[in-house]
Chain A
Amino acid sequence: MRIKLEARGQQSKLMSYASPVLAAVLTLICGALLFWILGKPPLQALHTFLVMPVSDPYRIAELLVKAGPIVLCAIGLSICFRANVWNIGAEGQLLMGGLVGSCAALWLLDAEGVWVLPVVLIAGVLGGAAWAAIPAFLKNYFNTNEILSTIMLNYISLNILLHGVHGPLKDPDGFNFPESAMFSDWQIMPIILEGTRLHLGVTFALFAMVAIWVLMSRTFVGFQIKVLGGDERSAHFAGFKEKRLVWLCLLICGGLAGLAGVGEVTGPIGQLVPNISPGYGYAAIIVAFLGRLHPLGIMLAGLLMALLYMGGEMVQIQLDLPRAITGVFQGMLLLFLLICDVLIAYRLVIEKSVSKTIEQPLRIEPQAIAIEGK
Chain B
Amino acid sequence: MVAQNSRLFLDGISKSYPGCLANDGISIRVEPGSIHAILGENGAGKSTLMKIIYGVVKPDGGQLYWEGQEVQINAPVDARKLGIGMVFQHFSLFQTLSVVENIALGLDQNSASDLDKLAERIVEVSTKYGMPLEPHRLVHTLSTGERQRVEIVRCLIQDIKLLILDEPTSVLTPQEVTSLFDTLRQLAAEGSSILFISHKLKEIQSLCDSATVLRAGRVSGACNPRQESTTSMAKMMVGDETQISSEYPKASDSQPDFLSVQHLNLKTDDIFGIDLKAISFSAKQGEILGIAGVAGNGQSELLAALSGETKLDEANVIVFPESDLTQCNPMQRRAMGMGFVPEDRLGHGAVPDMSLRDNALLTGFLQGLINRGFLKHRAIENFTQSIIDKFDVKCSGQSSLARSLSGGNLQKFIIGREVLQTPKCLIAAHPTWGVDIGAATSIHKALIALRDQGASIVIISEDIDELFTISDRICALFDGELSPIKPTDETTIDELGSWMAGIFARQQVA
Contacts and interface: CB of A to CB of B under 8 A. Distances in A.
Nearest to B78: A358
Nearest to A364: B81
Interface in B35-91: 66, 69, 71-74, 78, 80-83
Interface residues of B, number: 61
A2 to B, nearest CB: 15
Interface string B301-312: 000000111000
Interface stretch (A218-226, A257-265, A309-317): A218-226
Interface string A344-370: 000000000001111101111111111
B71 A220 contact: no
Given A362-B71, A366-B80, A368-B121, A238 B159 contact: no
A265 B83 CA distance: 75
A234 B347 contact: yes
A319 B401 CA distance: 51
Interface stretch (B264-272, B324-332, B471-479): B324-332
B334 interface: yes
Given A220-B370, A233-B347, A369-B121, A10 B82 contact: no
A9 B20 CA distance: 13
Nearest to B107: A366
Nearest to B331: A239
Nearest to B353: A230
A237 interface: yes
Given A10-B404, A371-B187, A358 B373 contact: no
A230 B351 contact: yes
B307 A366 contact: no
A276 interface: no
Interface in B334-372: 334, 340, 342, 344, 347-354, 358, 361-363, 365, 370
Contact of B334 (A9, A239, A241): A239
Given A223-B375, A369-B125, A237 B81 contact: no
Nearest to A371: B190
Interface size class of A (residues with CB under 8 A): 35 or more
Contact of A240 (B107, B308, B331, B350): B331
Contacts, number: 129
A241 B74 contact: no
Contacts of B342: 237
Nearest to B67: A362
Nearest to B158: A366
B17 A370 contact: no
A6 interface: no
A253 interface: no
B148 interface: no
Contacts of A237: 307, 309, 330, 340, 342, 348-349, 363
A359 B347 contact: no
Contact of A366 (B66, B81, B347, B373): B81
B66 A371 contact: no
A220 B377 CA distance: 11
B331 A369 contact: no
Contacts of B329: 239, 241
B508 to A, nearest CB: 34
B164 to A, nearest CB: 16
A231 interface: yes
B430 interface: no
Nearest to B186: A371
Interface of A: 9-11, 218-221, 223, 226-227, 230-231, 233-234, 236-241, 355-359, 361-372, 374
8 contacts: A227-B362, A231-B354, A239-B329, A358-B71, A358-B73, A362-B71, A362-B82, A366-B107
Interface of B: 17-18, 32, 66, 69, 71-74, 78, 80-83, 107-108, 111, 121, 124-125, 156-160, 187, 190-192, 307-309, 329-334, 340, 342, 344, 347-354, 358, 361-363, 365, 370, 373-375, 401, 403-404
Given A9-B18, A370-B159, 7 more contacts: A10-B401, A220-B365, A230-B352, A231-B354, A234-B351, A237-B363, A358-B71
| Pairs A-B, 8 closest by C-beta atoms | A239-B330, A239-B331, A374-B191, A231-B351, A230-B351, A358-B78, A234-B351, A233-B348
